[in-house]
Structure 1
Amino acid sequence: MKRLKPYIKTIHLWLGLASGLVVFIVALSGSVLVFEKELGPFFDPAYYNVPQVSSERFPADHLIEQARNRHPDSEFTNLYVFDEPERSMLIHLTDKNGERLVLSADPYSGAILKDTFYEKRFFFIVTELHRYLLMGNTGKAITGASCLIFVVLLISGIVLWCPVKLKNLKPRLKIKWNASFKRVNWDIHSVFGFYSSVFLLLIALTGLIWSYRWYENLMYYIADGASKPVHRVKNISAKNATERKDYFYASMLRETDSLFPYHGDIRLIRDVKGVNSILVLKENLEAGIPNIRDMVYFDMYSGKRLKTTLYKDLSTGDKVRRLVYPIHIGSIYGYPTKILAFLVCLVAASSPITGFLIWRGRKKKTKPGRKSKRKEEKPERQKNERLLQKQEVL
């Protein structure tokens, strides 16, 4: 391994320089997204809280009709109903140009609190920056490649950090804050990088799910021995069916609540093409981990329940896939893992900077004609420089 380290070091250096800016942007935006749920009410309060909570609520159909009246040429696509009584309902529409709109509705007064394009919301912009650099498919290709590179950087960084001799392990586990700037910068890059490497590797490997379809399918093949299953149910009624119920969507929400009596948030998804049935998902907020959702399918035209799929009956691959997002953003075990994810994202964002400074320091040192100033250096600084060089070799 000692003989391979110079080659690994070269690979680590040039891959880091090539992907550094993208890693910085993705990691920094990711640190913001970790606390999206907590910061959301600050940036967009009308999409989270209602002015006043009451005992009486308007049915979802009334609120959807209010939204449709504002945008008569739009199709209703999604409804979010939250378990917290102070939360507003979120209604998603798609206009004739394919633009998505999101409206916040007060279920107690029936009023529309806010109405805007989905793409203009703060956290949508941050998410687009994080996943696609605000560059669409081109950005997706860049961030996907950079994420793969980042995995290589993490693995090669661990290899470079590991000392050849056990006696050199202790200096690599702590930062010598009273040393020279060069030594402290190297320690920050190396020590913080080592402590966060396992967590960052987990974040990077889960992040690849959004970049590559083959990677997601590979995950399913490893878990299930088969490709990703399709969770769709076709409608059985004709488009002009006359057996549609009163309070059409509200009845679906009530039936879902009766099937799954636990506390949970509900999402209703409607197929604008009219081919697939309406899917209603309820997340079990009483479960120990996020994304534990049961599913109910309703006929789009009659409202009849067609199928119920319980979380416990999903394949292993589906259950693993449900865990990808909470692991990626650090919400898997609440605030402890969120704080951990936030800190390691900051480490990831700082690594391109500290790595660049290490490279610049070596480049300046090797410039031809540069006079050595070692005789003018203080003994303590000389000691630090020698120790740093020794660590880099080992």
Structure 2
Amino acid sequence: MKLKPYIKTLHLWLGLVSGLVVFVVALSGSVLVFEDELGPFFDPAYYNTPEHAAAAKIPTDILIENALQKHPGAVLQNLYTFNDPKRSVLINLTDINGEQRVISASPYSGKILKDTLYEKRFFTIVTKLHRYLLMGDTGKAITGAACLIFTVLLISGMILWWPSKLKNLKQRLKIKWKASFKRVNWDIHAVLGFYSVIPLLLIALTGLIWSYRWYENTMYYIADGTPKPIHKVKNRETDSYSTRDNNNFYTSILKETDSLFTYRGDIRLIRDLKGKNSILVLKENLEAPIPNIRDMVYFDMYSGERLQIKRYDELSAGDKIRRMIYPLHTGSIYGYPTKILAFVVCLIAAASPVTGLLIWTGRKKKKNKAFLRQKAESHKPRKLRRSIPERQSV
């Protein structure tokens, strides 16, 4: 029994069902590939500071205090400091309304350069469009299902692309630009799909991590034999007593983290809003051959005491694979070469629903024309043959 006709039908209907979602997700993903490069153009105040980079930096606690004074009742959630002396410090607050604010502050003057709701930032909107279609949990369910369908489409598309005779393989490897529009459209859909299938499969399979907890746990079970571990450390203190200088509480934590790991790196501080877990500080190694190589330090939220150090080398295989998921998904794993590749294949993925729809509508029109022609032929009056009188027998 030949399977290709059934696979063709499956490929067609799955493509029609998921086409619009795949188009939106792939197109927004192509923009997110160059988020770090485009960010300074869309929102320079969140990236660069106007002060001279050679000046002495002021304590980070002053920056935090300035931000909190602007928003009474708000609490610190995240803090980002960067190795690049031209970068501003980013302070994430949760205000009294429960909304997140992103504040950019100069590390040299303490001046607040920009203050915006997290939800209104350009790349926040693009990310929410990419992951949730701007529809919250409902959108997440839709994009997750579309990602699964897209994986099936890539595999079924490869089966349909493969020629029944090897002598026809060469024709499937290039686009015949001088052919008719229908043929060129088919070649764009099939040939470009073939060349991009492996990176697109990698993007789709890594993207499922953000959609399904069972998928992420399966990855951990394969790598470690256990589900995803929880990297949290409880505070030791229950009151507001601090063994550190209150005026330099966060500054000293950041300095201690920086001295523990001597490589060049960007630092992120994460504070538990509920006050149960300790402060987590991560330093990303900018000297590593691939991104997202981070060491972790836990500090008591009240005393500032260092509780635990967790180096990247000590992580399980599952945790290390999980750290690689984001750079693999975005194409940042090996810098600009893989970013450009991810950008191109995302555009090909966005074009596939369009070219596929044109192939389907073209065939549908062809079938309709054939049906109408056949119907017209059946209604034509038949020519009557003359009846020849029988010869009378003598």
TM-score, normalised relative to structure 2: 0.93
Q: CA deviation at 1:310?
A: 0.3
Q: CA deviation at 1:245?
A: 2.3
* 3-state SS, counterpart of residue 153 of structure 2: helix
Q: Work out whether residues 240 and 301 of structure 1, in 8 Å CA contact, stay in contact via their aligned partners in 2.
A: yes
- Whether 1:20 aligns to 2:19 is yes
Q: Which residue of 2 aligns with 1:350?
A: 351
Q: CA deviation at 1:11?
A: 0.1
Q: Which residue of 1 aligns with 2:33?
A: 34
Q: Work out whether residues 330 and 338 of structure 1, in 8 Å CA contact, stay in contact via their aligned partners in 2.
A: yes
CA distance in 1, matches of 2:371, 2:218: 54
Q: Work out whether residues 17 and 356 of structure 1, in 8 Å CA contact, stay in contact via their aligned partners in 2.
A: yes
Q: Which residue of 2 aligns with 1:235?
A: 235
CA distance in 2, matches of 1:315, 1:303: 27
| Per-residue Cα deviation, 1:354-381 (whole angstroms, up to 9, x for no partner) | 0000000000000155459xxxxxxxxx
CA distance in 1, matches of 2:201, 2:274: 40
- Whether 1:306 aligns to 2:307 is yes
Q: Work out whether residues 54 and 108 of structure 1, in 8 Å CA contact, stay in contact via their aligned partners in 2.
A: no
Q: CA deviation at 1:96?
A: 2.1
- Whether 1:261 aligns to 2:269 is no
Structure 2 portions without partners, runs of 5+: 375-394
CA distance in 2, matches of 1:290, 1:243: 35
- Structure 1 ranges of 4+ moved more than 6 A: none
Q: Work out whether residues 8 and 156 of structure 1, in 8 Å CA contact, stay in contact via their aligned partners in 2.
A: yes
- Whether 1:66 aligns to 2:66 is yes
Partner AA of 1:184 in structure 2: V
CA distance in 2, matches of 1:219, 1:242: 40
CA distance in 2, matches of 1:161, 1:103: 51
Q: Which residue of 1 aligns with 2:218?
A: 218
CA distance in 2, matches of 1:336, 1:20: 28
CA distance in 2, matches of 1:349, 1:178: 24
Structure 1 portions without partners, runs of 5+: 373-394
Partner AA of 1:72 in structure 2: P
Q: CA deviation at 1:165?
A: 1.3
CA distance in 2, matches of 1:90, 1:283: 16
CA distance in 2, matches of 1:235, 1:141: 35
CA distance in 2, matches of 1:122, 1:324: 23
CA distance in 1, matches of 2:131, 2:45: 26
Q: Which residue of 2 aligns with 1:102?
A: 102
Q: Which residue of 1 aligns with 2:175?
A: 175
Q: Which residue of 2 aligns with 1:296?
A: 297
The CA RMSD over aligned residues, in Å, is: 1.1
Q: CA deviation at 1:202?
A: 0.3
Q: CA deviation at 1:243?
A: 2.5
* 3-state SS, counterpart of residue 366 of structure 1: helix
Q: Specify the structure having the higher radius of gyration (Cα).
A: 2
Q: Work out whether residues 23 and 352 of structure 1, in 8 Å CA contact, stay in contact via their aligned partners in 2.
A: yes
* 3-state SS, counterpart of residue 203 of structure 1: helix
CA distance in 2, matches of 1:97, 1:45: 27
Partner AA of 1:355 in structure 2: G
- Stretch deviating more after TM superposition (124-133 or 90-99): 90-99
CA distance in 2, matches of 1:369, 1:242: 83
Q: Work out whether residues 242 and 304 of structure 2, in 8 Å CA contact, stay in contact via their aligned partners in 1.
A: no
Q: Work out whether residues 243 and 305 of structure 2, in 8 Å CA contact, stay in contact via their aligned partners in 1.
A: no
Q: CA deviation at 1:148?
A: 0.3
